[in-house]
Copies of this chain bind each other. A is one copy, B any other.
Amino acid sequence: MVRSLAQLAALALLATIVRRAEASGVALMPMPANVAMGSGRLVIDASFSAHIEGYTDRRLQAAVARLETRVERRTGIPLQHGGPAVLIVECRGGGPEYPSLSEDESYRLEVTESAAHLTAPAVTGALRGIETFVQSIAVDGQSFYAPVMRVEDTPRFAWRGFMLDVARHWMPLPVIERNLDAMAAVKLNVFHWHLSDDQGFRIESKVFPKLQRVGSDGNFYSQEQVREVIAYARDRGIRVVPEFDIPGHTTSWFLGYPELASAPGPYQIERNWGIFVPVMDPTREEVYKFLDAFIGEMAGLFPDLFFHIGGDEVLDTQWKNNPAIQAFARKNRLGSSAALHAYFNRRVQALLAKHGKQMIGWDEVLAPELARDVVIQSWRGQKSLAEAARGGHRGILSFGYYLDHMQPASMHYLVDPLSGDATALNTQEVALVLGGEACMWTEYVNAENVDSRIWPRLAAIAERLWSPREVTDVRSMYARMDVVSKALEWTGVQDRPGIDMLERRSGAGDGPLRVLVNAVEALGIDQRQKARHYNSFVPLNRLADAASPESEFVRHLEQIVADAPMDSAVRGELQLVFSLWSQNAGELQDVLNSRFFLVEAAPVSKDLSRIGDIGLRALQYLESGAEVPRDWLAEQRQELDRAMLPGAEVSLGAVRPVRALLDILMPSGRSGNPPGSH
């Protein structure tokens, strides 16, 4: 039993290492355009109250009421209400009741020792300023307080979005609502709701009720729930853009309405992941009649000006095999499947225009005759964004912001909508780049763990889209992200790795399991689809589903190694971690072998212990100052490369700090990777 205690300390170590980052004080994220910290504090206690001065409306009142509740929760102090204002919120006007792309989101927040004054041209700006005020609340030995400061802030991009796929795995209403709260906290303003796909049709249609009745397994949002979500988002300054992906990705439509398809049915709900053959028939007027009625219904439900029609990954197998479609194509001089798709898009765009909506599509919809007001969402590269702009289309960037690829926050953070091909754009073209959108596709994610794959990385993307272009310090971003990540938990999102769930399910409250989870990182969609045949029935209850995309623990270790000089305290700390890793496999063996869904993790666990051993030997060399044999170094590097190979659908992030340590031992001296890079 005693020998296990060293092991268990690793878990505890996480707390200490993280604490260091958290000691950094007020962490604003996204970083405001201008912020000047003063000295002194505005005390936040039971007398706190927020008053509206001047313009007022229901949305602003609701936001101020929520703010008071949040201050109560944050501090644990019941507010007495009724006293003089501590925070004064003053808008010059209302702005649109439902948020719009062109609205003014700027605000100014001045905190003095006696009061805080938030001013904004319109309500949405006040909403953003309230978030900054909440983020600024800190605590010390005297009180909770907001530091004296002056913030003048406005976003860099007008379109700062997050897309969630609710088709491949169903996301119940509470998932949506808590993520809207978290989005608001980091000033995101577009929720792109991917509502239909081959695997499910997730919204009630009253005009075509078979869509949800036979196409959803019973998992869909009622129109009442959709209105609730829209109101919830609107109150937080977030637009809701629905996506109905057509003409491909439409299997779920065809269960109830096979006449829309390009080949006869019957169809079944798709249970696999991938790109599938079923596609709408672009040649039949009945299809456009259906879409006219459907778009009309949905246009009445969703107040946003924009309407997403997907348009990605269209396979032409059914078109090619259907003589009537081919005849139509010949007759109408649509000489290729691309031309057929473009024809379909033009027809759909006309329907949208008729119902007062502007179209958005994934970058496949970009074609010469496309209406100018169509917005292009670029997912295959930045090139299409630049092409779109040159063609006079507005665009939003998603390439580089795919959260399901499980890349580190730093990678996403350094993707700028105006970098790459966009650097060659002229001023007018640059103005057409509206911003960006992070995407969460849900083949390998379910309602249980989706939060931990969205957050906290989405906060880094939010900063990219809000803050000035020059705000690019990765270390500062991570330090603030660690604080914001903790604060986001007040919204109910569960952004930490799913260790609790893993432990609860395995009936084991094990430190060693926690050590393993914190040392590994979940693989992204590309690698998981190669690892086994997935479909919607495969359980997501394994190590890969509990692990983070990016281990906070490993990241902090990397930072320690990068922060040489390596004094004896740092060496001691690393030694303890490596010892724990070294012994962890032995500790964990029984647990893994007696939980069938963890058996596959045993080799990863053994690799972690080997990495620990390498780290321990490296530390010995470092301490003794002895010459390190080149052969030994080469061998260990090979061993690390091998250990880095995925197993159990995770990657051993723990390799990185050890590799950086070996770099320090290199006779040529230090050449470690910067923290956060993979």
Chain A positions within 8 Å of B, measured between CB atoms, are 1-2, 4-16, 18-19, 22, 46, 74-78, 80, 138-144, 448, 483, 486-487, 489-490, 501, 504-511, 514, 536-541, 545, 569-570, 572-573, 576, 593-597, 599
Contact = CB atoms under 8 A, between A and B. Distances in A.
Contacts of A576: 2, 5
Interface of A is mostly: helix
Contact of A595 (B141, B593, B599): B141
A507 B139 contact: yes
Contact of A505 (B14, B76, B536, B593): B76
Contacts of A540: 76
B573 A138 contact: no
A511 B573 contact: no
Given A2-B576, A15-B11, A142-B596, A509 B486 contact: yes
* Oligomer copy total: 2
A526 B13 CA distance: 38
A13 B19 contact: no
A573 B6 CA distance: 11
Contacts of A501: 76
Query: Which A-B residue pairs are the 6 nearest by beta carbons?
Result: A76-B541, A8-B12, A2-B572, A9-B9, A15-B511, A12-B511
Contact of A539 (B10, B77, B139, B573): B77
A78 to B, nearest CB: 5
Contacts of A1: 16, 569-570, 572-573
A596 B143 contact: yes
A612 to B, nearest CB: 15
Contacts of A14: 509
Contacts of A16: 1, 4-5, 8, 510-511
17 contacts: A2-B573, A8-B15, A9-B12, A12-B12, A19-B508, A76-B448, A77-B541, A139-B506, A139-B596, A141-B593, A141-B595, A141-B599, A143-B596, A483-B507, A486-B504, A486-B507, A490-B504
A139 B505 contact: yes
Given A5-B576, A569-B1, A140 B75 contact: no
A23 B666 CA distance: 47
Given A514-B15, A539-B77, A597-B76, A22 B140 contact: no
B536 A78 contact: yes
Contacts of A483: 507
A497 to B, nearest CB: 14
B22 A508 contact: yes
A62 to B, nearest CB: 15
Given A7-B12, A12-B511, A489-B504, 9 more contacts: A2-B569, A2-B573, A2-B576, A5-B572, A15-B511, A19-B509, A78-B539, A138-B507, A144-B596
A13 B22 contact: no
Nearest to A506: B139
A511 B75 CA distance: 21
Contact of A509 (B15, B514, B541, B572): B15
A537 B12 contact: no
Contacts of A594: 139-141
Nearest to A138: B507
A139 B595 contact: yes
Nearest to A587: B16
Contact of A12 (B2, B11, B573): B11
A18 B486 contact: no
A515 to B, nearest CB: 9
Nearest to A595: B139
Contacts of A487: 504
Contacts of A599: 141
A12 B14 CA distance: 11
Contacts of A572: 1-2, 5
Given A139-B595, A507-B138, A9 B5 contact: yes
A78 B576 CA distance: 40
